[in-house]
Amino acid sequence: MTSRALEQFLSGVEKRAFKIAQLGLRNDDDALDAVQDSMMKLVQSYASRSSDEWRPLFYRILANCIRDMQRRRTVRGRIMAWLPMRDAENEEDFDPIAAAPSMEPTPARRLELDEAMGVLETAVAELPQRQQQAFLLRNLEGLDVSETASAMGCSEGSVKTHYFRALATLRARLGEVF
Amino acid sequence: MSDPSDFEKRTQQVLEESAARLDGRTLSRLTQARHKALDQLQRPARHWWRSYVPAGAAAATAVLAVVMWSGRPNVEGAVTQNAVEDMELLADTDAPDFVDEGEDLEFYEWAAGEVES
């Protein structure tokens, strides 16, 4: 019973979780690793908890994985700075158009969506970490303020502040497109 | 000038569309990750000796029955030793739950440490 419920839960969140990790890490492989690690940890340590707790717990674990990867990347970057120049791909900016998903609707609609996705994803990826977390958990994942606070490990007031600031930044930047 | 709720709806729509349109390679990797995570629920017990518990419990029961009903003093020494070992294995079944709670305590200690700035 737990196994089936867990499978339903994980299959329901995996795409959005990947999206959140992708925007935080700006790398598809790292994002996949983060999602996999988070799934493993949730099942390992919290499978026996009430299913109501899984969502905030999972996103808390995911946020920690993303943060840990970002830190490792920072350390690695500092080490690499002392080595001969190489690996241009480490310096590459996130390309939202290249990362934009494939196929579907009418060509005109697709173009419109691709453009919107591209500019939105770039803007969200450049938000400060906490604002990005609050925005994606509330807006994409649909967590309420309380669940978001649990996932982020902060107060509900902080969630509202981070979310409000993220919205303000995005509106200022995307007002013309959206 | 669109109001905040319209803007939020629009951004939500775009992000959901983006999440829904992941490529095949990514979807496949996510499915594999999910299965790998769920496989942990099917695995044998983490602690190697847990696999001996059912056999140990049956053995302990049979041994105790033999001791009580046959009343053979010269068997008792060896039987008692095996019974003690089996009972230790049975008693150790509490350990994993304790370990799980320990992991939960670590999570909450960490969560308590993450104070909003």
Task: Provide mean pLDDT across the span A78-95.
Answer: 56
Min Cα separation B25/chain A (Å): 11
Q: What is the ipTM metric for this complex?
A: 0.78
Q: Closest-CA residue in chain B for A4?
A: B38
For B23-46, how does the pLDDT look when each residue is reduced to its tens digit (9 = 90+)?
Answer: 999 999 999 999 999 998 876 655
Query: Of the given ranges (A31-35, A81-85, A102-106, B82-86), which has the lowest mean pLDDT?
Result: B82-86
**With contact defined as beta carbons under 8 Å apart, do B104 and A146 qualify?**
no
Percent of chain B, pLDDT > 90?
A: 26
Q: Closest-CA residue in chain A for B43?
A: A44
Min Cα separation B78/chain A (Å): 39
Residue scoring higher pLDDT (B114 or A135): A135
Cβ within 8 Å, pair B19-A158: no
Nearest to A60 by CA among A13, A97, A92, A122: A13
Tokens at B14, concatenated: 């775009």
Neighbours of A103 (CB within 10 A): 8
Task: Provide mean pLDDT across the span A11-20.
Answer: 96
Task: Provide mean pLDDT across the span A98-104.
Answer: 51
Identify which of A92-96, A131-135, B60-64, B71-75 has the greatest average pLDDT.
Answer: A131-135
For A98, the 3-state DSSP assignment is helix
For A21-77, how does the pLDDT look when each residue is reduced to its tens digit (9 = 90+)?
Answer: 999 999 999 999 999 999 999 999 999 999 999 999 999 999 999 999 988 877 777
Q: In angstroms, how far is the first alpha carbon of chain A from the final one?
A: 44
Task: Provide mean pLDDT across the span A153-163.
Answer: 96
Q: What is the pLDDT of residue B71?
A: 57
- Which chain A residues are closer than 8 Å to B22 by Cβ? 15, 18-19, 101
**Which segments of chain B does DSSP mark as H helices, in order?**
4-20, 24-39, 53-70, 73-91, 94-113
Residue scoring higher pLDDT (B73 or B58): B58
Instruction: Nearest by CB to B37, from A10, A18, A60: name it.
Output: A10
Min Cα separation A175/chain B (Å): 8
Cβ within 8 Å, pair B38-A43: yes
Query: Of the given ranges (A54-63, B1-10, B43-52, B55-64), which has the lowest mean pLDDT?
Result: B43-52
Instruction: Nearest by CB to B22, from A15, A113, A136: name it.
Output: A15
Q: What is the pLDDT of residue A117?
A: 87
Cβ within 8 Å, pair B7-A42: no
Give the predicted TM-score (pTM) of the model.
0.65
Q: Closest-CA residue in chain B for A137?
A: B12
